């Protein structure tokens, strides 16, 4: 059914306004950055909810590559699942000869007391993490006494979907059991487990490994999420080669991972370090580029460029474009007219030229042409597919370079 045409036009002259790139949930940061990189290089992009993305070189359908949350399809589901099971990951690292902090897992329902006694035995401070799930987030550090331990476990007793730090951006199957119920209140499944680890002291480093090569190292004295930007330092060129080698080898322990964010605590990042002295405290199947973003937006963008090149090596020869001109299809809009108004408002604010119209009311489709800064265009469309903008959402966005 062809609907009556409703136009959304926006024109803006001059340079594009700078978007506040900090205001984007860390769970979708990786996908946004790779999306931006694909548009900059003139690729055709197809987006679906949960940051499922296909990219290809225009006119060459054989080059189609898929990504999920910015992670190339070369990363296997099995590899992501292994990485998200902390007991399995720790066992694999230990078997391969690497060092991890002393730790053990306990259930929130029946062995919380045993967990506290274990913490007392290995000595505070300790770290508490979900035993299964997205890595590096929901990690509670600096637990120094019984009261803090109790509060940390109570947080994990809350069903994952109701936790403030929970993200739905995971693309591996991590927790399939139904929540429990106590006095009519939903709680985590009775067998839900958490990991208690000794909190290691020393220099905290975040390594980003892409295709087996360490591409960035950040010094994060308070950990990747708590360290403020002014205290963070890019030590990629300063870190001792022994640590770079350890990180690159450790990233291979879990098979099937294209990208690895690996956290390590060491006595001195500039000194020669034995494998027994380098404690691996995190290993994630995704880059978590929000950490690089805190250091600088340019660093996050550069790492996303490398991830895109990992998925589609040909684009390494493509020059980034400051402005792009693309043909756009938006699908699955419940109210296409309202969505057009919202998009037009966003385009004006961000200096994007847009000429969109409703092309099929029944299918909720909008078509047209968009020209502007690829970072700004990706910003609008990622939000439209995530939680929406002013209650308007889409279920499909196709972008073809003109």
The residues, ordered by sequence, that sit 6+ positions from 142 with a Cβ below 8 Å of its Cβ are: 125, 148, 199
Two domains, one topology: 102-198 and 203-286: no
Residues 169-194 pLDDT 10s:
654 445 555 666 666 666 666 678 89
* Boundaries of every domain in the chain: 7-70+316-401, 102-198, 203-286
CATH of domain 7-70+316-401: 3.30.70
Residue 355, exposed/middle/buried by CB under 10 A (0-12, 13-18, 19+)?
middle
Q: How far apart are CA 392 and CA 238, in angstroms?
A: 47
What's the token pair of residue 25? 């949930």
DSSP codes joined into one string, 11-45: ---SSPPPP-TTSS-HHHHHHHHHHHHHHHTT-EE
Residue 211 near residue 302, CB atoms below 8 Å = no
| 146 SS3 class | helix
Residue 374, H or E segment: helix 374-385
What is the third-level CATH fold of 203-286? Answer: D-amino Acid Aminotransferase; Chain A, domain 1 (3.30.470)
| 339 SS3 class | helix
In the prediction, which pLDDT does 322 show? 95
Q: How far apart are CA 247 and CA 263, in angstroms?
A: 9
Residues 211-259 pLDDT 10s:
999 999 999 999 999 999 999 999 999 999 999 999 999 999 999 999 9
The residues, ordered by sequence, that sit 6+ positions from 260 with a Cβ below 8 Å of its Cβ are: 207, 208, 209, 251, 254, 283, 284, 285
Chosen CATH of 102-198 out of 3.30.1490, 3.40.50, 3.40.630, 3.90.1070: 3.30.1490
pTM for the full model?
0.92
Residues 348-372 pLDDT 10s:
999 999 999 999 999 999 999 999 9
């Amino acid at each position: 059914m062809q609907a009556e045409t409703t136009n959304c036009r926006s024109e803006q002259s001059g340079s594009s306004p700078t978007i506040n790139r900090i205001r984007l949930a860390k769970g979708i940061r990786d996908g946004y950055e790779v999306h931006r990189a694909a548009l900059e290089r003139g690729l055709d992009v197809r987006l679906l909810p949960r940051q499922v993305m296909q990219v290809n070189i225009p006119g060459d359908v054989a080059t189609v590559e898929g990504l999920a949350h910015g992670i190339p399809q070369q990363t296997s589901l099995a590899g992501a699942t292994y990485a998200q099971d902390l007991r399995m990951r720790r066992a694999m690292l230990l078997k391969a000869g690497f060092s991890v902090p002393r730790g053990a897992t306990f259930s929130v329902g029946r062995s919380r007391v045993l967990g506290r006694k274990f913490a007392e035995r290995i000595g505070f401070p300790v770290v508490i993490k979900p035993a299964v799930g997205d890595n590096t987030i929901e990690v509670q550090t600096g637990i120094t006494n019984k009261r803090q331990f109790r509060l940390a476990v109570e947080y994990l007793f809350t069903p994952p979907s109701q936790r403030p730090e929970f993200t739905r951006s995971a693309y591996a199957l991590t927790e399939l059991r139904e929540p429990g119920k106590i006095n009519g209140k939903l709680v985590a499944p009775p067998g839900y487990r958490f990991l208690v680890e000794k909190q290691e002291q020393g220099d905290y480093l975040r390594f980003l490994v892409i295709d087996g090569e360490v591409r960035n190292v950040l010094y994060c004295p308070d950990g990747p999420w708590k360290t403020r930007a002014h205290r963070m330092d890019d030590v990629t060129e300063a870190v001792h080669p022994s640590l770079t080698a350890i990180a690159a080898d450790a990233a291979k322990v879990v098979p099937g991972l294209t990208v690895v964010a690996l956290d390590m605590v060491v006595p001195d990042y500039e000194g020669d370090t034995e494998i027994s002295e380098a404690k691996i405290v995190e290993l994630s199947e995704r880059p978590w580029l929000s950490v690089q973003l805190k250091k600088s937006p340019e660093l996050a963008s550069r790492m996303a460029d490398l991830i895109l090149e990992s998925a589609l090596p040909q684009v390494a020869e493509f020059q980034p474009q400051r402005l792009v001109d693309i043909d756009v299809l938006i699908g699955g809009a419940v109210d296409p007219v309202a969505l057009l108004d919202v998009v037009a408002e966003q385009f004006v604010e961000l200096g994007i030229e847009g000429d969109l119209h409703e092309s099929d009311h029944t299918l909720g489709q909008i078509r047209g042409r968009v020209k502007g800064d690829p970072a700004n265009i990706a910003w609008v469309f990622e939000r439209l597919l995530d939680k929406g903008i002013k209650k308007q959402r889409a279920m499909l966005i196709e972008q073809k370079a003109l």
